[in-house]
């Protein structure tokens, strides 16, 4: 386990906190979803309540090392002021005169937000000198940005070389729920994997076959499994160079006595748009000129019945094109089944988190990860640089 803010004395200390304030905005720079800001608040409040001088930093968008007004953290500073009910000073640079001046004589309980960390090209290169300058602003480093922990950047890993480094509550929660789901699951343990491609999920399928009782496959990746068995998949997404791999994964599941479930029927469409003509066919009978966009009703029934037996459910990747209402039925059914389940329900970020939000059931699940790519790499068993650099308990 990694040390958290509770394992270190923060009173009177300047604490640099890496947050994930990469929030969506409209064309007028109004924040349209404050979830990421809200999820950082418990850590920030704890530090303030315990007499720390809090220096926050984050990226927003992809400014690629250039100062771009539309990526300024000014709207975030405003939102933080509303939530915390105290002033939040925004610096006009990252490690320059403004940052040094505003952080120099801070008092306990004050908050300074550094301007977008990616306005400096050295951030993503994990430049040593930049990390050193960043670290020189503070005495303690806290990482609470799980969503960027799979990146070895200056503000996610580099600074930990120069300051005592611990995790915030958000990262602690991620490691607890994702870690327990993998290492100490209550059984039966069922994983639902969706998304477009098998190639995106090879490592996670491989890793989960070692751990789960049932593996449910949906989304575009399912059609590669059907093609591998010699069935026609029409114009559906299919990775012809991954057919042997699909067969090997099926073989491995069988050898390990893992129930691998593939769709039995699929909702197909003529073309990729929300109003396309559609119908439901057996997965083994997809006609040419048609494309699979969702799991069918029979499959929904089979999958939801199986999920009702679970004590732990891990879900990563939608099982259809949930952005289009007529092909969101399967994904919504999985979301609602998880929402009414007594099992420990863990969702691995990204598109899945968006689908759950769209279905309106996010608050009914045990844990929805804040990191897409980071959650994926963690579930694959990879080491995350932003976590590895933190002190062990």
Q: Say if residue 237's pLDDT is above 90.
A: yes
285 pLDDT exceeds 90?
A: yes
Q: What is the pLDDT of residue 69?
A: 93
pLDDT in tens, 152-203: 999 999 999 999 999 999 999 999 888 888 788 999 999 999 988 888 888 8
Partnered with residue 25 across adjacent β-strands are 31
Reported as a single tens digit per residue, the pLDDT across 111-120 is: 999 999 999 9
Between 7 and 198, the higher pLDDT residue: 7
**Over 90: is that where the pLDDT of 333 sits?**
yes
In the prediction, which pLDDT does 194 show? Answer: 93
Structure confidence at residue 288 (pLDDT): 95
pLDDT at position 154 is 97
Q: What is the pLDDT of residue 195?
A: 87
This prediction has a pTM of 0.84
Q: State residue 224's pLDDT score.
A: 95
Active site residues: 36, 197, 350, 373
Instruction: Please write the tens of the pLDDT for every residue from 364-386.
Output: 999 888 777 888 888 888 899 99
pLDDT class of 209 with cuts at 50, 70, 90: very high
Q: How many residues are listed for the chain in this entry?
A: 393
Residue 377, pLDDT score: 85
Predicted confidence at residue 335, as pLDDT, reads 95
Sheet of 278-282, strand order: 278-282, 265-269, 291-295
pLDDT of res. 167: 97
pLDDT for res 233: 96
User: Domain locations in the chain?
Assistant: 5-172, 185-379
> Is residue 14's pLDDT more than 90?
yes
Residue 350 has pLDDT above 80, yes or no: no
| CATH topology classification for 185-379 | Rossmann fold (3.40.50)
What number is the average pLDDT over the span 53-69? 96
pLDDT value of position 348:
82
Band of pLDDT at residue 149, cut at 50, 70 and 90: very high
Confirm if 338 and 344 have CB atoms less than 8 A apart: no
Q: Do domains 5-172 and 185-379 have the same CATH topology?
A: yes
- Give me the percent of the chain exceeding a pLDDT of 70: 100
139 pLDDT higher than 80: yes
Give the pLDDT of residue 376: 80
- Which CATH number describes the domain made up of 5-172? 3.40.50.1260
pLDDT at position 107:
97
Asked whether the predicted pLDDT for residue 17 surpasses 90, the reply is: yes
What is the average per-residue pLDDT within 220-247? Answer: 95
Mean pLDDT, the chain, whole residue set? 94
Question: pLDDT tens digit string along 20-39?
Answer: 999 999 988 999 989 899 99
């Amino acid at each position: 386990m990694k040390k958290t803010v509770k394992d270190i004395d923060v009173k009177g200390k300047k604490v640099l906190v890496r947050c994930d304030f990469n929030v969506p905005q409209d064309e007028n720079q109004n924040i349209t979803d404050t979830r990421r800001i809200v999820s950082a608040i418990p850590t920030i409040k704890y530090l303030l309540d315990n007499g720390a001088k809090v220096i926050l930093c984050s990226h927003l968008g992809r400014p690629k090392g250039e100062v771009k007004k539309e990526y300024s953290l000014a709207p975030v500073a405003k939102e933080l002021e509303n939530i915390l009910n105290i002033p939040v000073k925004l610096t006009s640079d990252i490690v320059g005169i403004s940052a040094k001046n505003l952080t120099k004589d801070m008092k306990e309980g004050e908050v300074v937000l550094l301007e977008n960390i990616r306005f400096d090209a050295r951030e993503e290169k994990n430049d040593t000198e930049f990390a050193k300058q960043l670290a020189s602003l503070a005495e303690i480093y806290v990482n609470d940005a799980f969503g960027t922990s799979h990146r070895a950047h200056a503000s996610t890993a580099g600074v930990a070389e120069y300051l005592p480094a611990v995790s915030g509550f958000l990262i602690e929660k991620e490691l607890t729920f994702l870690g327990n789901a993998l290492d100490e699951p209550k059984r039966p343990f069922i994983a639902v994997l969706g998304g477009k491609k098998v190639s995106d999920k090879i490592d996670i399928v491989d890793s989960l076959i070692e751990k789960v009782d049932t593996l449910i496959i949906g989304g575009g990746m399912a059609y590669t499994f059907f093609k591998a068995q010699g069935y026609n998949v029409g114009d559906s997404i299919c990775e012809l160079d991954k057919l042997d791999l699909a067969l090997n994964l099926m073989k491995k599941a069988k050898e390990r006595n893992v129930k691998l479930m593939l769709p039995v029927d699929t909702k197909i469409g003529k073309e990729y748009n929300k109003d396309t003509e559609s119908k439901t066919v057996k997965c083994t009978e997809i006609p040419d000129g048609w494309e699979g966009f969702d799991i069918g009703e029979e499959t929904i029934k089979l999958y939801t019945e199986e999920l009702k037996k679970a004590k732990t459910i891990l879900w990563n990747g939608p099982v259809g094109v949930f952005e289009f209402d007529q092909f969101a039925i399967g994904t919504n059914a999985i979301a609602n089944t998880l929402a009414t389940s007594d099992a420990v329900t863990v969702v691995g970020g990204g598109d899945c988190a968006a689908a759950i939000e769209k279905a309106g059931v996010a608050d009914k699940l045990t844990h929805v990860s804040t990191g897409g790519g980071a959650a994926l790499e963690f579930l694959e068993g990879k080491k995350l640089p932003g976590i590895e650099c933190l002190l062990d308990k």
